[in-house]
Structure formats: C-alpha cells, structure tokens
Amino acid sequence: MRKMLGVTALDQGSGEGAHRAFRTSVVISGIRCLITYLVIPVVVPLLALGGWVAAPIGIALCIFAVVNGVVSLKRFWRSDHPKRWMYTMFMAVVFVILAVALVADFSRLGAS
C-alpha cells in the first residue's frame, strides 16, 4: 500500500498531520453534501439557475475532497498509524461515494 501511495519513508511525527488531513477531508465531504443536497435544491430553483450551477460546484468539492483524502491516506501510512488499514477501507468507501457523486454531477452537465 505504501508503494501504491508513493510513501517511501516512515515519519512517526506525521500522525497529527494525518488526523488534520482526515478532519479536513471529512469536513469538505460534509460541506459538499450540505451544498449538494440542501442548499442547491432549495436555493437554485429559487434563482432558476438549474444544474449548470449545481454540477460545477459539486464537481469542484468532490475533487477537493478526493485530493484531501489521498493526502490524509499518505500521512496515515507515512506515520505507520496503527489504524491505517481501517482508515484505508473507510476512505475507499468515501471514494466510491464521491465517484458516484461525480458521475451524477457530470451527467447533470450532459457529459454522459
């Protein structure tokens, strides 16, 4: 797994950075969900802007969440965190959910 993530050396001090990156990734995913499923369905119809506004926002937030997820995965593995495999499985589920959200957002733009 370390080889796949490009982690070449262990750094026991990067555990706090791993937790910070994890929190950032989860917060961004939560913000994306709030915007996608609460703000956009309520505000966008009021403004009559439709999917061409919602989709790019969702795509940008998904990409940002994926990047933060990968960064936090690398930090968990670099720090040799004892829960790194459990976190890796959790992030795999998050990445699948984000991939589904990305497909939905791209289909809203008509890029199926």
Residue-wise pLDDT tens digits, 9-41: 776 665 666 677 677 777 877 787 787 777 766
pLDDT at residue 1 is higher than 60: yes
* Residues in CB range of 95: below 8 A, 6 or more apart: 66, 69
Distance CA 102, CA 112 (A): 11
Domain count, the chain: 1
Q: What is the pTM of this model?
A: 0.66
* 95 domain-assigned: yes
* 2 domain-assigned: no
* 60 domain-assigned: yes
Question: Cβ(80)–Cβ(47) under 8 Å?
Answer: no
* 82 domain-assigned: yes
Eight-state DSSP code of residue 69:
H
* Residues in CB range of 22: below 8 A, 6 or more apart: 72, 76, 87
Q: Which domain holds residue 94?
A: 14-108
pLDDT at residue 112 is higher than 60: no
Three-state DSSP at 9 gives coil
